[in-house]
């Protein structure tokens, strides 16, 4: 059966609830899985991302017979929405905030959380983590970057950081204090990149373009729910 969040719900990466994995804003769809003690594993419908929910947060979830219907968007439909994406990210930078691992709810984000939420509020769903977002977008050359494209950083094996390209060699991203900033900022890919930009320049992996909205790979069986209504 489908469920919907009535308030913000926190998902953790273990039943102990010690580290935040992601967050779900009010209105998001999910479906439950196994339980461990009082904790319940759930999967968010929009991005197939899972985590453990505490009893307190589970009280903010209600069953529904309305199934999640993912938006069907191609590149032509996405382009007019990109200004909304950039505006959201820039506005978030201007609010009091800090970097929060697992954060996808304003005001505090992690890198991929900021990217996912900026696109989601424009009606475009992306996968949750930076490496998943890198695998989802269409690869492009650095010379082809346009506003709204994504830029990726990390190791040779995996993307660990992501930002949104603004144009004029600049990108906006949310980084932790270990990389020189505790929150959202704008840095450069050009020669004037400064200390933080230089740190990420050493971790450059590539760029990608959002050409579709994410389509979930897994759905619960809703036939029983509809049969009961």
- Partnered with residue 159 across adjacent β-strands are 154
Q: How far apart are CA 190 and CA 169, in angstroms?
A: 6
- Partnered with residue 31 across adjacent β-strands are 43
Is 173 an annotated catalytic residue?
yes
Handedness of CA 195, 129, 58, 65 (dihedral sign): positive
Which of 91, 161, 174, 225 is labelled catalytic?
161
Which of 91, 111, 174, 219 is labelled catalytic?
111
Tell me whether residue 215 is exposed, middle or buried, using C-beta atoms within 10 angstroms of its C-beta: 0 to 12, 13 to 18, 19 or more: exposed
Residue 4 φ/ψ, nearest 5 degrees: -130, 145
Is 161 an annotated catalytic residue?
yes
Measured between alpha carbons, how far is residue 25 from residues 71, 133, 212, 221 in Å?
A: 17, 20, 22, 23
Which of 173, 174, 219, 225 is labelled catalytic?
173
Active-site positions read: 111, 161, 173
């Amino acid at each position: 059966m489908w469920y919907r969040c009535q308030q913000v719900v926190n998902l953790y990466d273990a039943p102990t609830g010690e580290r935040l994995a992601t967050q779900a804003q009010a209105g998001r769809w999910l479906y439950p899985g196994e339980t461990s003690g009082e904790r319940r594993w759930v999967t968010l419908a929009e991005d197939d991302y899972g985590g453990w929910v505490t009893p307190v947060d589970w009280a903010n979830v209600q069953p529904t017979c309305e199934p999640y219907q993912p938006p069907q968007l191609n590149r032509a439909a996405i382009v007019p929405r990109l200004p909304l994406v950039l505006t959201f990210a820039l506005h978030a930078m201007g609010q009091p905030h800090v970097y929060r691992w697992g954060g996808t709810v304003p005001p505090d984000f992690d890198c991929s959380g900021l990217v996912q939420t900026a696109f989601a509020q424009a009606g475009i769903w992306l996968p949750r983590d930076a490496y998943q977002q890198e695998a989802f977008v269409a690869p492009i050359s650095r010379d082809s970057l346009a506003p709204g494209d994504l830029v990726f950083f990390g190791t040779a094996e995996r993307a660990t950081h992501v930002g949104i390209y603004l144009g004029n060699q600049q990108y906006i991203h949310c980084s932790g204090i270990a990389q020189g900033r505790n929150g959202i900022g704008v840095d450069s890919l050009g020669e004037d990149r400064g200390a933080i930009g230089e740190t990420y320049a050493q971790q450059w992996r590539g760029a990608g373009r959002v050409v579709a909205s994410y389509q979930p790979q897994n759905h619960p069986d809703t036939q029983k729910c509809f049969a009961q209504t």
